[in-house]
A = this chain, B = another copy of it.
Amino acid sequence: MEAFLNPKSVLLVGVTRQTGVGSYNNLEVMRRYGYEGPIYVVHPSVSEILGHRTYRSVAEVPQVPELAVISVGRDRVLPVVQDGIRKGIRNFVVISQGFADADAEGRALQDSLVELCRQNGARILGPNTMGILNAFDGFSTAFIDIARDPSPPPLTLVAQSGVLQVGIESFTGRLGKAIDIGNGCDIHFVDALRYCADDPQTEIIVLHMEGMRDGRTFVEVAASIATRKPIVVLKTGRSHAGAQAALSHTGSLVGEDAVFDAAFQKAGLLRVRSMVELRAVSKALLHFRPMEGPNLAVLTATGACGIMSADACEDFGLQLAPFPDKARSLLENPKISWHRLGNPVDLWPLGMVGGSFPDVLEKAAETVLAHEDTHAVLAIFPRMASPLHDNLRFEEVLRRVQEKNVSRKPFACWVYGDGAREEAERLDRIPGVACFPGIDEAVMGLAATYRFRQRSRRGASKVVPEQRAADIGPAVGAKAQGPEGVSSTAPSPQEKNQAQGGVLLGEAALEWLRRYGIPTAPSLVTTDPQEAARWAQEAGFPVVLKVVSPQWVHKSDMGGVVTGIQDAQALRRAFDDLVRRFRTASPRGELTGLQVQKHLSGWEMLFGIKRDPQFGPVLVAGMGGIYAEVFQDVRRALAPVSMEEAREMIMSLRLYPLLRGVRGQPPAHLDALVDALVHLSDLAWDHPEVAELDINPLFASADGCCAVDCRIVIG
């Protein structure tokens, strides 16, 4: 990637002969941005552009440039890259549009491009990209003339669009480096992350993501970085309409948004959901050391903003710090003995009687910062343009406060009033201070630093199972069989053949669970009512009877289940009824048999596996039963899940308070649920051929848990 971000020499193909206003000439922009290395320009007709001599072809260029930047029409891209490869160039930025972002022909062109480069060991950034922006070294491939940051911040952006480079102010505020992967035909998030991991000029990574490729590798690489360097991600195409728009934009594979959430969680990323939040979080990470705890002290010129701050804390996951006694005795003023002191600290009355609001702010800030239970400060105060209020100056005050703030607790400000903008610019230059456009933004930003600190402390999640990693290798995600050492716990080929139409049902599915140590309800599948009755007699009534047929996957909806059968006679009656009902409804259907099962009770839950094309096996745990669909009370996590992750999944369910026991009922057996989920994770990991698996219901009770029904989709 270094050759892309700071190349020793550059070849430009497709530069317009026009220069100046409205020309979008990337030679001109590259020079203005500060690139001082040799630039070779290929142009078919003119002999010089902006004083640069041009060459008629790539072959004529006297040197082998380290990087080629191509912006010809899409039909001419492939020949130009071929010329470049022949010349010995191995790094290409393809600015041109019209590839996978456009039509089938474009997609085919893009595939050829990738093929050509793979064969020749070359790398491509793009197509459909603005390419690189590197304010440290003064290199830009853009056709838009963006101002170079004179003191570049350690923030690197990896985006799927150039708009985040052009509109810096609206997204991350500032930029040190940017990589626009565009269609990402070759260089993708993973390559960019690996570059960021080792780059000393990158301390904060911001991703703008529309879609994903090699999701598993992405998660692995991101997880290995995210505890050291915060990775912020703005994933767009969240909505249905947005995902459709994404498909037409960069031709990205846009997955289910909830799966992205699970992937980001696994990788330890900080997800932001809007440009507003991206701006706030980027600024906070650039200005602050992370908060060491969730406690915020609010110093405010007005009580109304104290209330808003308290609301914001609750919205974004912080809390109000306890108000130190020392601050009380220091700030109290007998002239206004009625004034109530607490956090948020309403400073204005103290300033009015004490003579100077900035002085009171200084005293309060020092005191709360010195207190061990304060993890950050939010100061809220006005700055007016009127000369009458020239006393409301805060720069010197905050410089003094920060000199004493030795552990560098974050000091966020919201300055309001018609002189606020200039004041905020001044205060932003004080180390460890950052001004935000509002209270919400300040708290969003602070909260993100705390989330980062929590994740750093917890360490990276396991992305491959600890002991199993060696056995399985990188084959996960591919549709391969597990290797011998693992498949010993797996069903035999014959059993797999029971999968009819690629679906395993009833006993065949439950058998897989049993082999992984997941408790299942005892049951028997048979076509013989006598055998069913004998089994029930032994197992004990009451029992349940269910139709097993590949055509009746949703058997409850078809009337294919009879519950609460109390004796052998009732069982035989139900058996005949169900067979008759099946034959009537599905005369050509295939009846595997009827399943007789112990009647169980407990909380109806749902466990499952879904294999995502990007991220591989995703575990699902949640509420089962008839309310499942409307309340969608489920948590997802990328496999493998640890005991701790499994516990978190279950404890964060909305129904969890019920599992802890209500109305005199004993609590459900949490450890049993955790175990089952971890075992299911093993199954998912070992069997890449399992595309979907649903355990529904899984009954959770005080004694443990028990899978009652299961469906496995293979392939």
Closest residue of chain B to A392, judged by CB? B22
Once the chains are docked, how many angstroms separate the CA of A167 from the CA of B388? 16
- B658 lies within 8 A of A303 (CB): no
Minimum C-beta distance from A164 to chain B (A): 8
Report the minimum CB–CB distance from A560 to chain B (whole Å). 10
Question: B303 contacts A21, CB within 8 Å?
Answer: no
Contacting pair B314 A249 (CB below 8 A): no
How distant is A185 from chain B, measured CB to nearest CB, in Å?
16
Q: Which residues of B contact A391 (CB under 8 A)?
A: 21-22
Q: A147-B385, A630-B655 are in contact. Are A438 and B170 (CB under 8 A)?
A: yes
Q: Distance (Å) between the CB of A272 and the closest chain B CB?
A: 12
Determine how close the nearest CB of chain B comes to the CB of A373; give it in whole angstroms: 16
**A276 beta carbon closer than 8 Å to chain B:** yes
In A119-174, the 8 Å CB interface with B consists of: 144-147, 159-164, 166-170
How far, in angstroms, from A319 to B307 measured CA to CA in the complex?
Answer: 34
Question: In the bound complex, what is the Cα–Cα distance between A168 and B421 (angstroms)?
Answer: 13
Q: Are A249 and B389 in contact (CB under 8 A)?
A: no
A311's partner among B237, B559, B663 (CB-CB below 8 A) is: B237
Query: How many chain copies does the complex carry?
Result: 2
- Is residue A399 contacting chain B, with contact meaning CB distance below 8 A? no
Contact, CB under 8 Å: B338 / A106: yes
Q: Are B303 and A249 neighbours in the complex by a CB distance under 8 Å? A: yes
How many residues of A sit at the interface, in one of the four size bands?
35 or more
Residues of B within 8 Å of A420, CB to CB, are 167, 169-170
- Which of B23, B414, B417, B440 interacts with A276 by CB under 8 Å? B440
Contact of A416 (CB < 8 Å), options: B170, B315, B439, B557: B170
A51 within 8 Å of B (CB atoms): no
In the bound complex, CA of A210 to CA of B306 (Å): 11
A547 to chain B, nearest CB (A): 14
**Residues from chain B with Cβ under 8 Å of A102 in the complex:** 338-340
The answer to whether B310 and A245 touch across the interface, beta carbons within 8 angstroms, is yes
B242 pairs with A311, CB closer than 8 A: yes
Per-residue CB contact flags for chain A residues 414-435 toward chain B (1 = under 8 Å, else 0) read 1011101000000000000000
Would you give the shortest CB distance from A360 to chain B, in whole angstroms?
13
Q: Is A480 an interface residue (CB 8 A)?
A: no
Q: Which chain B residues border A147 with CB–CB below 8 Å?
A: 385-386, 418
Known: A276-B276, A340-B102, A388-B28. A208 touches B167 (CB 8 A): no
A505 to B389, alpha carbons, bound, how many Å?
A: 64
Whether, in the assembled complex, A332 has its beta carbon less than 8 Å from a beta carbon of chain B, the answer is no
Shortest CB distance A557–B (Å): 5
**Which A353-408 residues sit within 8 Å CB-CB of chain B?**
356, 382, 384-391
Can you name 18 A-B pairs with beta carbons within 8 Å?
A97-B339, A102-B340, A161-B302, A161-B305, A163-B305, A163-B416, A168-B418, A236-B304, A237-B310, A239-B315, A246-B307, A248-B342, A274-B440, A276-B438, A557-B662, A558-B664, A626-B663, A630-B654
With A97-B336, A145-B386, A274-B438 known, 15 other A-B pairs at CB within 8 A are A21-B387, A23-B388, A97-B339, A98-B336, A102-B339, A145-B384, A145-B388, A147-B385, A161-B303, A170-B437, A236-B307, A238-B311, A239-B313, A245-B310, A249-B346
